[in-house]
Amino acid sequence: SRALAARAVADPAVDALAVCGGDGMISLAVQEQAGSDTPLGIVPAGTGNDLAREYGIPLGDPEAAVDVVLAGRVERSDLGRATTDGGEEHLFASVLCAGFDSAVNRRVNEMRFVRGALRYVVASALTYPGYRAQRFRLTFDGADVVEQEIVLSAYAITRCYGGNMRIAPDADRADGLLDVVYLEDLPKVRGVWHFRKVFAGAHVGVEGVVTRRCRTVRIEAAGVEAYADGDLVAPLPVTLDVLAGQGAFLVP
């Protein structure tokens, strides 16, 4: 739990914090561990396991993952921070999403009849036919404003979300920047084609897919929720920025 993580980080006798679980469980620990000298080790046991995949942690082999916790090196990386208009903060280590992708995330978390990363595929297929693009207002670095109909939007520290979908294939987890990817309103058939390309990261540069980098972005859209690291953050609006070098993970 988050309380256990807080106690571990505050204990000078603790050399490292290990989490056995998925991206959501890791996120709970990151809320307390961020910026500390206590690195975070990962034993992946979740649905998507995107953070473990990003950091090269063995999947499906708990003993090998534990070996990384015991003998791995510490890698510093960036974290994202989402702040609501009420001042509540939520940190994330991989990708925050808003739009179709956050609607899929909600359905994944409610799903019980499918296990593993296949949940994201099934949830996407169930959600997409009835989903409609929403009017977004994005303010990049406090100045550049974009207002348009958007289907999905992702704000990435790392490359993948949704069980190895390479939404931001060029993201650098230690460059101090958010990689932003969003899909403009397109006919359904073309949208499905673009979605298929995401798994290989081949959607970048395709018509209707917009990519850019920024240090901060304010995201506004009525009735849309933001999800990050697999869990609900808050309804929009939220403002994102980067905590450069505030993550610390044990890697092979």
Catalytic sites, residue numbers: 231
Burial of 87 (0-12, 13-18, 19+ CB in 10 A): exposed
Backbone angles phi and psi of 54, in degrees to 5: -60, -40
d(CA 25, CA 38): 17
Residue in 165, 161, 208, 167 with CA at minimum distance from that of residue 184: 208
163 Rama class: left (phi>0) / alpha (psi -120 to 50) / beta = left
d(CA 78, CA 247): 5
Tokens standing for residue 242: 């980067």
d(CA 168, CA 159): 5
